[in-house]
């Protein structure tokens, strides 16, 4: 079956959704509070600036080292995990990944899947795909569960329900969980979630999780979490399916040490999370629990496109900490849903074009003032601002231009009119006579400047040439 | 062409594969070795650091001598109203705890495969007792290597997780734990690093303990025992 996964919100409506988000004071307050909180938490973990910079060097080196030998490492990971009794699957597209997971469920007559947190599964719209085919998927991460109950998608990759207030969640639980009285007490809300989901772990036929890091040498899947739902999902059901993007593998288990500390400190400002769950195979002979089957789905979904281009390859260094969005002045004001993509914020803007094509995502790279905060906090030193500029260039490139590594949707924002204006401008600038004429005309005819100037006047006052040019003014002062 | 061939083909078409960095391990080791050298610590200092780190993540942690912890634990279990505890009957520690338990606390061994008593485990067991392989003092982390006698769910499903860790097994940090125990030479099917009770900040960034894993964690740090035979 090759049904396209449903895009719940089309990313191309970015401008309209941003406007709506900016006009929603409650949403803006939620994000403002959350951003300040997460920034402070992270800062408290990196008191030693020198240590931070050296760790970032190591994190970058580990990721670059892994990407430099990616195909060999993927084969090695496959070999070590297979030797341990796991089954490794490869999916080039979301459709293939969904079909693989559905196939595993069908073969075992599975009706219920309990999920630990997985952004890759969000990316392929797995829940939707399986539910259409009669397999129930229940999110068990508290944030993901809240978002699922509300029929929404995560607005942050680490804190999925960051846009919701405790009052929203109290009302949501009262409405959807029978016998629940309204409360805004967070402890009570969490205990309600715990009680409600507990049975799901017992009854699930399959547990599905993401993967934070994978070590090729030992065949270890390294999962990071606080709630214990990840451990329950990967331990209690008889079958565990893990899904990960192909870029998550590193060469050696010991290389994960700097990445793990960078991840927890950058993401939530924790020295370590409650659990690092290291899985190196299914239940072994003599063991009394743990899944008897372990499957790993390796997902491409456009990552190979980023890999092909040397500059864009650094996108794949990402360890999904979310620090770039936590520090982004644009994300902090419009929130995650405005982007309309699985991955919002700066990392979403540079990753989504590879996943979805530039046709629907070209606007995302413009959602940045290029202030550089994302690049400054990135624990693996991805040059995010540079990549934003690069993607703007690709979106404005002539669609017919032949380049070494064409991107899907090249030239999505290409405009002949704009190109003509730039050609005139560079031509005028290169010829003093033409330029003088232009200057003379612009200053004399300034009253003719229109009040509506396309995109410019959407948010800004109209441009109007000055009555006299700079050159004229300087000449009057005898300085030219 | 299979998806595997297509993916690997595209990656390989991106150009000749570079060799890995040759000095990466040395650089990582140098970083963490230098950090540790700033604050070298003997076993008793590590024990205190472990205890403080555990308390910081809302675990109850205390240091005890080898002869005294079973009675201490038994008393605390009674006070907490625990009526069923998973504790193995194989290890010396498991047997010592069993011998000390009062009449009101039932000791249960994990003897059947999980699938035969899932609902019972989730519904009726109040506590699980494990002996940690080691600990990481910097973060208050327990290194748990589940085995046949003490499977993974013992430290996961019951609302109270009790762990015993020997001070002489404590490492300063994760980097040291991984190297001293030579993880790269072979990993168990599941190795868990657990730091305090489960928690979440998913509702308006408000920290709440007792998410899906244990709601309470007790850690006994045994300070006087030497390397077990």
Closest CA of chain A from B17, distance in Å? 6
B-chain residue closest to A305, CA distance: B10
Domain assignment present for B2: no
Q: Which of A281, A304, A327 is the last residue of a domain?
A: A304
User: Is B18 a member of any domain?
Assistant: no
| Subunit contact A62:B28, Cβ cutoff 8 A | yes
Which residues in A lie closer than 8 A to residue B151 (C-beta atoms)?
A: 287-290
Asked if residue A358 belongs to a domain, the reply is no
- Candidates A336, A121, A324, A348; CA nearest to A230 is A121
**How large is the greatest C-alpha to C-alpha distance in chain A, in angstroms?**
94
The more confidently predicted of residues A69 and B20 is A69
pLDDT of A1 > 60? The answer is no
CATH code, B212 = 3.40.50.10420
Is residue A453 included in any domain, yes or no? Answer: yes
What pLDDT does B42 receive? 87
Give the residue from chain A lying closest to B113, CA to CA.
A288
Does residue A5 register a pLDDT over 50?
no
Whether residue A299 is found in the same domain as residue A426: no
Quickly state the pLDDT bin for A311 (edges 50, 70, 90).
Answer: very high
For the segment A74-96, the average pLDDT, to the nearest whole number, is 98
Given this model, what pLDDT does residue A216 score? 98
pLDDT tens track for B178-213:
999 999 999 999 999 999 999 999 999 999 999 999
Residue A328, phi then psi, degrees to nearest 5 = -90, 120
**Among B19, B151, B183, beta carbon nearest to A287:** B151
Average pLDDT value for chain A: 95
Tens digit of pLDDT for each residue in B106-163? 999 999 999 999 999 999 999 999 999 999 999 999 999 999 999 999 999 999 999 9
Domain boundary (A261, A287, A304) is at: A304
Residue A266 has pLDDT above 90, yes or no: yes
Q: Specify the range with the lowest mean pLDDT, choosing from A87-101, A191-205, A277-291, A455-469.
A: A455-469
pLDDT the model gives residue B17: 67
Six token digits for residue B133: 């392989």
Mean pLDDT taken over chain B:
95
User: Do the domain assignments include residue A381?
Assistant: no
Distance of CA A1 to CAs A8, A9, A137, A394, Å? 20, 23, 19, 33
pLDDT-based confidence at A316, cuts 50/70/90? Answer: very high
> Could you tell me what percent of chain A has a pLDDT over 90?
94
Question: Which of B22, B202, B209 should we substitute to test contact with A (largest number of A Cβ atoms within 10 Å)?
Answer: B202
Q: Are residues A33 and A159 in the same domain?
A: yes
Residues A166 and A299 in one domain: yes
Helices B3-13 and A70-83 pack at an angle, to 10 degrees, of 150
Domain assignment present for B9:
no
Average pLDDT over residues A141-159: 96
- Please tell me whether residues A296 and A421 are part of one structural domain: no
Whether A385 is covered by a domain: the verdict is: no
Contacts of A397 (CB under 8 A, 6+ apart): A403, A410, A411, A414
Nearest to B207 by CA among A105, A230, A37, A27: A37
Mutate which of A33, A96, A197, A226 to test chain B, going by most B C-beta atoms within 10 A?
A226
Question: Six-digit token pair at A324?
Answer: 């770039």
Q: What is the mean pLDDT of residues A20-39?
A: 95
- Is the CB of residue B37 less than 8 Å away from at least one CB of chain A? no
Choose the mutation target among B2, B5, B7 for the interface with A, i.e. most A CBs under 10 Å: B7
Whether residue A134 is contained in a domain is answered as yes
Residue A34's region, left for phi above 0, alpha for psi from -120 to 50, else beta, is alpha
pLDDT of residue A9: 60
Radius of gyration of chain B (CA): 21
8 Å CB contact between A396 and A421:
no
Average pLDDT over residues A48-75: 97
* A203 lies in some domain: yes
Count of A-B CB contacts under 8 Å? 262
Q: How many domains does chain A have?
A: 2
> Does the pLDDT of residue B1 top 90, yes or no?
no
In a domain, B195, yes or no: yes
- A173 neighbourhood in chain B, CB within 8 Å: none
Is the pTM higher than 0.90?
yes
Q: Judge whether residue B20 has pLDDT over 80.
A: no
| Close Cβ partners of A126 (under 8 Å, ≥ 6 residues apart) | A97, A98, A101, A137, A208, A243
Q: Are B194 and A274 in contact (CB under 8 A)?
A: yes
Which position has the token pair 């509506």? A452
Nearest to B27 among A58, A193, A226 (CB): A58
- B8 close contact with A: CB closer than 8 A: yes
Q: Is residue B141 part of a domain?
A: yes
Confidence of residue B41 (pLDDT cuts 50, 70, 90): confident
A111: left (phi over 0), alpha (psi -120 to 50) or beta: alpha
pLDDT grade, residue B226 (50/70/90)?
Answer: low
Chain B residues 106-135 with CB within 8 Å of chain A: 110-115, 118-119, 122
A397 — pLDDT class (breaks 50, 70, 90): very high
Is residue A359 domain-resident?
A: no
Q: What are the structure tokens assigned to A12, written together?
A: 């191309």
CA angle B175, A228, A289 (to 5 degrees): 90
Asked if B17's CB is within 8 angstroms of A71's CB, the reply is: yes
pLDDT of residue B224: 87
Q: How far, in Å, CA of A149 to CA of A141, rounded?
A: 12
Interface test with A, best of B203, B214, B216 (most A CBs within 10 A): B203
Q: What is the pLDDT of residue A371?
A: 98
Quickly count: other Cβ atoms within 10 Å of residue B198's Cβ.
28
Question: Which chain B residues are within 8 Å of A307, Cβ to Cβ?
Answer: 10-11, 14
**C-alpha neighbours within 13 Å on the C-beta side of residue B33:** 8
What is chain B's length? Answer: 229
Residues A263, A249: Cα–Cα separation, whole Å: 15
Residues in A closer than 8 angstroms to B205, CB to CB, are 33-34, 37-38, 159, 162
User: Phi first, then psi: what are they for B195, rounded to 5°?
Assistant: -125, 90
Residue B185 lies in a domain: yes
**Domain termination site, one of A262, A277, A304:** A304
pLDDT at residue B228 greater than cutoff 50: no
For the ranges A208-222, A334-348, B39-53, B103-117, the lowest mean pLDDT is seen at: B39-53
Range of the domain at A40: 11-304
Answer whether residue B227 is part of any domain: no
Lowest mean pLDDT among A271-275, A439-443, B6-10, B154-158: A439-443
Please report the pLDDT score of residue B229 as a whole number.
34
Range of the domain at B200: 42-222
Tally of domains in chain B: 1
Whether A317 maps to a domain, the answer reads no
Tens-digit pLDDT profile for residues A63-79:
999 999 999 999 999 99
């Amino acid at each position: 079956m090759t049904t396209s996964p449903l895009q719940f919100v089309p990313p191309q409506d970015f401008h309209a959704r941003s406007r709506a988000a900016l006009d929603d004071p409650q949403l803006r307050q939620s994000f403002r509070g959350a951003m300040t909180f997460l920034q402070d938490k992270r800062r408290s973990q990196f008191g030693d600036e020198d240590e931070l910079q050296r760790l970032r060097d190591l994190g970058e080196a580990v990721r670059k080292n892994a990407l430099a030998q990616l195909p060999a490492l993927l084969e090695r990971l496959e070999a070590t995990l297979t030797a341990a009794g796991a089954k490794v699957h490869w999916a080039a597209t979301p459709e293939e990944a969904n079909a693989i997971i559905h196939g595993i469920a069908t073969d075992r007559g599975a009706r219920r899947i309990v999920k630990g947190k997985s952004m890759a599964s969000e990316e392929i719209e797995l829940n939707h795909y399986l539910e259409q085919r009669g397999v129930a998927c229940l999110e068990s991460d508290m944030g993901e569960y809240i978002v699922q109950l509300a029929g929404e998608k995560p607005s942050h990759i680490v804190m999925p329900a960051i846009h919701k207030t405790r009052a929203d969640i109290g009302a949501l639980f009262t409405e959807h969980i029978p016998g629940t009285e309204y409360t805004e007490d967070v402890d009570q809300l969490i205990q309600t979630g715990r009680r409600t989901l507990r049975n799901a772990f017992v009854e699930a036929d399959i547990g599905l999780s993401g993967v934070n890091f994978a070590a090729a040498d030992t065949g270890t899947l390294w999962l990071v979490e606080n709630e214990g739902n990840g451990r329950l999902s990967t331990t209690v059901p008889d079958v565990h399916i893990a899904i990960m993007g192909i870029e998550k593998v590193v060469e050696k288990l010991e290389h994960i040490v700097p990445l793990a500390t960078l991840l927890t400190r950058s993401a939530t400002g924790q020295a370590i999370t409650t659990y690092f769950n290291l899985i190196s195979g299914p239940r072994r002979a003599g063991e009394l629990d743990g899944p008897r089957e372990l499957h790993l789905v390796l997902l491409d979904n456009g990552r190979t496109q980023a890999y092909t281009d040397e500059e864009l390859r650094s996108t794949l260094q990402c360890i999904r900490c979310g620090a770039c969005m936590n520090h982004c002045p644009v994300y902090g004001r419009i929130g995650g849903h405005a982007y309309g993509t699985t991955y919002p914020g700066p990392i979403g803007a540079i990753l989504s074009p590879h996943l979805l094509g530039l046709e629907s995502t070209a606007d995302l790279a413009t959602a940045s003032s290029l202030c550089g905060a994302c690049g400054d906090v990135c624990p693996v030193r991805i040059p995010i601002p540079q990549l934003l500029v690069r993607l703007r260039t690709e979106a404005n490139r002539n669609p017919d231009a032949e380049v070494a590594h064409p991107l899907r949707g090249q030239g999505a924002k290409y405009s002949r009119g704009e190109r003509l204006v730039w050609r005139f401008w560079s031509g005028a600038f290169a010829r003093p006579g033409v330029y003088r004429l232009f200057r003379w005309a612009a200053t004399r005819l300034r009253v003719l400047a229109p009040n509506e100037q396309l995109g410019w006047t959407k948010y800004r006052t109209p441009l109007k040439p000055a009555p006299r040019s700079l050159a004229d003014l300087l000449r009057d002062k005898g300085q030219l | 062409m299979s998806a595997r061939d297509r993916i690997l083909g595209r990656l390989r078409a991106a150009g000749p594969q570079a060799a890995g960095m040759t000095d990466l391990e040395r650089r990582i080791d140098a970083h963490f070795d230098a950090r540790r050298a700033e604050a070298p610590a003997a076993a008793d200092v590590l024990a205190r650091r472990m205890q403080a780190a555990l308390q910081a993540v809302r675990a109850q942690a205390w240091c005890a001598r080898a002869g005294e912890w079973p009675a201490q634990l038994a008393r605390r279990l009674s006070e907490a109203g625990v009526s069923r505890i998973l504790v193995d009957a194989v290890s010396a520690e498991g047997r010592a705890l069993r011998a000390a338990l009062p009449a009101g606390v039932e000791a249960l061994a994990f003897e059947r495969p999980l699938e035969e008593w899932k609902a019972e485990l989730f519904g009726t067991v109040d506590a699980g007792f494990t002996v940690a392989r080691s600990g990481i003092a910097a973060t208050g982390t327990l290194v748990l290597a589940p085995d046949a006698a003490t499977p993974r769910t013992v430290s996961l499903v019951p609302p109270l997780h009790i762990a015993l860790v020997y001070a002489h097994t404590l490492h300063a940090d994760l980097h040291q734990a991984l190297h001293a125990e030579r993880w790269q030479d072979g990993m168990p099917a599941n190795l868990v690093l657990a730091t305090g009770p489960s928690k979440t900040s998913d509702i308006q960034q408000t920290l709440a303990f007792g998410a899906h894993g244990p709601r309470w964690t007790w850690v006994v740090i045994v300070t006087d025992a030497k390397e077990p035979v």
